[in-house]
Amino acid sequence: MNARDTRIGKAVKAVEDSLRHKAKQRGLRLEKSHSRTPEAASYNTYRLVDATRNTIVLCDASNGYGMCLHDIAEYLKA
């Protein structure tokens, strides 16, 4: 991994942490897919879960995750 990749990784982690905090303030939980196969549809994607009911609030219905951080940020703005 080069320096550019490291900076990008840190920036993504910072956005992810910020969105986790915003989700928690709304009673939600941001979950990242555990898929480690780049070809998988859910690879490196997220979903929002109601923390109290443990029900999915936002996801791609085909795989249970499927949302990028931009999609999560837009949902949390509303």
Say if CB 27 and CB 51 are below 8 A apart.
yes
What is the reported pTM?
0.86
Helix, strand or coil, per DSSP, at residue 34: coil
Two structure tokens written together for 46: 């997220």
What is the pLDDT at residue 30? 98
| Confidence check: pLDDT of 63 > 70 | yes
Instruction: Give CA–CA dist 12/15, Å, rounded.
Output: 5
Nearest to 74 by CA among 50, 48, 39: 48
Domain limits at 56? Answer: 3-77
| Confidence check: pLDDT of 75 > 90 | yes
Q: Domains in the chain: how many in total?
A: 1
| Confidence check: pLDDT of 22 > 90 | yes
| Confidence check: pLDDT of 42 > 80 | yes
Nearest to 63 by CA among 74, 52, 44, 71: 44
